[in-house]
Amino acid sequence: MPSSSPLPPELERLNQIYVETCEAFNKGEVSAEIARSTILGLSFTDDSGRIWVIDTKRSGKRATFTVDTEKSSNGESIISDPQPHITQPIPVVTAQNDVAEDFVSRRNFINELSIKSVVIGVLGAGVLYEGFRQLRGSDSSSDIKSEIKSGESSSNATESEVPASEYIPEEPGWSTKVTEIALNADIEFGRSVDNVPLTFYRRQSGVNGARVLVIGCIHGDEFVGNRVVDILRDMPLDGDIDLWTVRTMNPDGQQLRTRQNANGVDLNRNFPGNWQKIGEPGSWQYSGADSASEPEVQSLVRLGALVRPQFVIWYHQDYFRIGPGVGHDGNVRTKYASLVGLPLEELDCLCGYTGDKPLLEAVFGGTGTNWAKSFQEPTGVSMTVEFGPTLSEEDAQRNAKAVVSVATEFF
């Protein structure tokens, strides 16, 4: 509907709810999941039996509406694209044997995670400590935070004035130490707020392989990507690849089943370079008191400065898609999406943004995806992969294979 057209009273009511939900989302008062479910749940049945819903694919600051022909009694359409755009979950595929469906759900507790964490923490303590010493390149016990320049910024500033390069450690020889990092071992590179070790696992195949970094979990309640990382640790590697995996950079949030870390900070809004002040303590995407204020982000920044990966993948939920790109970046995204069966679509504009930049880049600051681009070459790719609410074992295997396949083909 043209924005200048008056709306019938019932549709005006839905539009008002839509606008208010968008405003609440932009202020950080409600989560994306709540905003999405609220907006997708809005409907109105007119006198002819047609059911009207919000058309999220067309919506801007003012809602547009479409007839839900799947629910309509007569199937009539008012606009040319009658089907509302609704994200579909990843199908759970039944295994080809007597084993029941094997899938991971973000709404179920995974006891295996806690068990593995304890085993790694106890049995691998020596390796973790030595690896951490190698990574730091120093025997100093000073806190990581003191080695990262956070700069000074006003509490009411909208964006950090500290360039991303200021967060790259300046220790002599740092860039050459990557050759000294051990393979096939869990190596500690930092600690969480609650002092849980953050670890990476490095594997190699071939020589001069593409440097790839895969983050299984950054939001604590979006952790099905952990399974992909587990598979990448053990699966055969083909071609040339230098593979670095981090199962989770938010162990505290994962334990608490919260998006944020133990300080209540959304780590995917806390990265340097394009950090912005978002929300206040207690809001669901609070970006922290300052750029890279959180130990988990500080640690990953150090790791990124060491590895300088050409290809970075961040696993998220529940939007079930990969955002499109252009040029080399677009080719990588298209290939990965085709291998794993995810749609290649921009994040739904549920909340009024109508610009030409990707939504996450335009609306949100401090994301890991954008931070990684700050040190990559022009052919580097930093990509968010959004799973649905669950991930089948078959799809987890498919994603792990896609990481290796895409890395060896494009990098």
Helix (H) or strand (E) holding 34: helix 32-40
Question: pLDDT at position 404, please?
Answer: 97
Give the pair of three-digit tokens for residue 78: 């008012």
pLDDT (tens place) for every residue of the chain, 411 residues total = 444 567 777 788 788 888 887 777 777 766 666 777 677 777 777 777 778 888 766 555 677 777 765 544 444 433 333 333 333 333 332 223 332 333 333 333 333 433 344 333 434 444 444 444 445 443 333 333 333 333 333 333 333 333 433 443 444 333 446 778 889 999 999 999 999 999 999 999 988 899 999 999 999 999 999 999 999 999 999 889 999 999 999 999 999 999 999 999 999 999 997 898 988 999 888 999 999 999 999 999 999 999 999 999 999 999 999 999 999 999 999 999 999 999 998 865 544 445 554 554 445 689 999 899 888 888 999 999 999 999 999 999 999 999 999 999 999
Contacts of 22 (CB under 8 A, 6+ apart): 35, 61, 350, 351, 352
pTM of model > 0.85:
no
Cis peptide before 318 (omega within 30 of 0): yes
Q: Which fold has domain 103-410?
A: Aminopeptidase (3.40.630)
Question: pLDDT at position 78, please?
Answer: 38
Q: Look at phi and psi of residue 195 and say left if phi exceeds 0, alpha if psi is from -120 to 50, else beta.
A: left
- pLDDT more than 70, % of the chain: 64
Q: Count of alpha carbons within 13 Å of 218, Cβ hemisphere only?
A: 27
Rounded to 5 degrees, φ, ψ at 219 are -95, 125
Question: pLDDT at position 37, please?
Answer: 67
Question: pLDDT at position 171, please?
Answer: 40
Q: Name the residue among 165, 161, 169 with its Cα closest to residue 190.
A: 169
| CATH 3.40.630.10 domain extents, the chain | 103-410
Give the tens place of pLDDT for each residue, 170-215: 443 334 467 788 899 999 999 999 999 999 999 999 888 999 999 9
Question: pLDDT at position 377, please?
Answer: 87
Question: pLDDT at position 57, please?
Answer: 60
Query: Quick check: helix, strand or coil at residue 316?
Result: strand
Give the tens place of pLDDT for each residue, 342-388: 999 886 554 444 555 455 444 568 999 989 988 888 899 999 999 99
Q: What's the CA gap between 302 and 315, in Å, rounded?
A: 20
Q: Name the residue among 403, 383, 388 with its Cα closest to residue 342.
A: 388
Q: What's the CA gap between 243 and 237, in Å, rounded?
A: 9
Question: pLDDT at position 259, please?
Answer: 95
Q: What's the CA gap between 365 and 368, in Å, rounded?
A: 9
Residue pair 333/384 in contact by the 8 Å Cβ criterion: no
